[in-house]
Amino acid sequence: MVKNVYRDYIAPRSLTGKVVVITGAGSGIGKEMSIKFAKAGCIVVLLDLSLPAVDAVKAIIESDGGKAHAYVCDVTSPSTVYSVAASIKNEVGEVWCLVNNAGIVSGKSIFEVPDALASKTLAVNTESHFWTVKAFVPGMIEKNDGCVVTVASAAGLVGVAGLGDYCASKWGARGFNDALRLELRKMRKYGVKTLLVCPYFINTGMFDGVNGSNWPFGLILPMLQPTYVGDMIIKAVRRGQPELRMPRLMYVSDLLHFALPVWLKDLAFEIIGFSSSMDSFTQTRDTSK
């Protein structure tokens, strides 16, 4: 226990040579994290539905002297995840860090989202975590060393109109992370860390057209830049940090949830602009695959 405290807070761990698996690595924040983990010395395993996308990220990493492996993987299919995981263990080695990043957004209201798309959002953003954790984490448990990163969202802290399926999936991912952390603790596997990441809107194209907040609130709640988010995640992994919310203002959301009556909280959301933030959303991703 003392050794873990020293490593996490006094001497942050080195990532050199660590094998890191990242889902949804072909674009957006997944691509950004992949490049940054590689620069930190990790052997990065890129998972995505699109082989050309992960091959392109792999080429970027290798051109900078890093090490990367690319695999096509449908994270909603347990059998596919287990098969790819077996290949990774044979071809790359034991995984030290799993980053559950794959995600989709419909951008439609609860009454407009097609049933199949709502189910797919939950399957990609939440249910897939069961399959990836069962595939990769037992090896970490055996060594009592590793890290599981859950990329959730500020939409997993508060509800947002027009993001019903997405909010449900991110609240689910947040709950899954908490349960996993407690199960690891119950097993006394203190060396296997969990990191819950809850960022505000990130400027990756996933939320094109979104107006996050009205003036002047946009000054304190700006859309986050991928480089900043990637840097913060790497830093949190090095420290063994259990939770990361961006911007820091997101840490007060729990306090406001308990301190304010519902009607006042809803009014505040309307004034800030959260309730209408998705009105100008433009879908730029293919959610049919």
Instruction: Report the catalytic residues.
Output: 166
CA distances to 53, 91, 262 from 95, in Å: 22, 11, 44
Q: Is 245 helix (H, G, I), strand (E, B) or coil?
A: strand
Query: Helices (DSSP H) in 64-163: which residue ranges?
Result: 78-91, 115-122, 128-143
Distance CA 76, CA 161 (A): 26
How remote is the C-alpha of 188 from its chain's centroid? 25
Q: Is 210 helix (H, G, I), strand (E, B) or coil?
A: coil
- Decide if 226 contacts 199 (C-beta within 8 A): no
User: What type of residue is 209?
Assistant: G
Identify which of 77, 79, 14, 1 has the alpha carbon closest to the alpha carbon of residue 42: 14
- Decide if 235 contacts 147 (C-beta within 8 A): no
Burial class (CB in 10 A: 0-12, 13-18, 19+), 188: exposed
